[in-house]
Amino acid sequence: MPTAIEEVDKLLELSKIISISLRDTTGNKTGLWRTVKPVIDYAKCKNRGLKCGICRKFCPEPAILVDENGKVTIDYDHCKGCGVCSEECPLKAIEMRPDVETEE
Ligand code: SF4
Ligand code: SF4
């Protein structure tokens, strides 16, 4: 049974083979589409952003940012709440929660 870290490394290798295109959709603010929003648990992510970043690779929008320290954050102006990042995170560090602000 592979460890979670081994799963991360395996997915990273796969992501080199499967090219996920990062379209420039920065002009399209899709944040108002959301009914649920991703929330990162930094205790689980452990700021592996620079080494991991799998959530960013799979996000269909330019909504996941990684700073110079490897910290991963969500740009809620562009996150449409699809949940792909939550599904793909091998460490289960992203939880989808009701987005009460956009339900109004
Ligand atoms: S919920 Fe979808 S759009 Fe939002 S950050 Fe995750 S993958 Fe990107
Ligand atoms: S949230 Fe998950 S997929 Fe994203 S960098 Fe952290 S561990 Fe990797």
Task: Return the CATH number at 25.
Answer: 3.30.70.20
The range of the structural domain enclosing residue 24 comes to 4-102
Protein residues whose CB sits closer than 6 Å to any atom of ligand 1: 38, 59, 61, 63-64, 74, 79-85
pLDDT of residue 87: 97
Quickly tell me which residue has 């792909």 as its tokens.
84
Task: Count other C-beta atoms under 10 Å from residue 69's C-beta.
Answer: 8
Closest atom, ligand 1, to C-alpha of 78? 3
Closest atom, ligand 2, to C-alpha of 53? 5
Q: How close is the Cα of 101 to the center of ligand 2, in Å?
A: 25
pTM here?
0.75
pLDDT of residue 98: 94
Residues (pLDDT < 70) of the chain are 12, 14-27, 47-49, 101-104
Amino acid at 48: R
pLDDT of residue 102: 47
The structural domain count of the chain equals 1
